[in-house]
Amino acid sequence: MAKKVVATLKDKEAKGFAKIIKAVKSEKTGAYTFREEMVPLDDAREALKK
């Protein structure tokens, strides 16, 4: 299956995206959770500021 995933990531459209993983602290428990999102490379810096 790994070959299939790698093949789809090499698409021309997929090269313009970045995967951003953020650690977000829960207000109720104080534990950290991780949020993943795919954003266009142009918007990557703005997405990290949020």
Sequence-ordered list of residues with C-beta below 8 angstroms from that of 8, at least 6 positions apart, any chain: 14
Q: pLDDT confidence of 1, banded at 50, 70, 90?
A: very low
The pLDDT assigned to 50 comes to: 73
Assign residue 30 a region (left: φ > 0; alpha: ψ between -120 and 50; beta: otherwise). left
pLDDT tens-digit readout, 8-49:
556 666 678 889 999 999 999 999 999 999 888 888 888 888
- Say if residues 31 and 25 touch (Cβ distance below 8 Å): yes
DSSP labels for 28-44? TT--EEEEEEEEEGGGH
The pLDDT assigned to 34 comes to: 93
Domain borders along the chain are: 2-49
Global pTM reads: 0.55
DSSP code of 27? T
Considering only residues 33 and 3, tell me which one the structure prediction assigns the higher pLDDT. Answer: 33
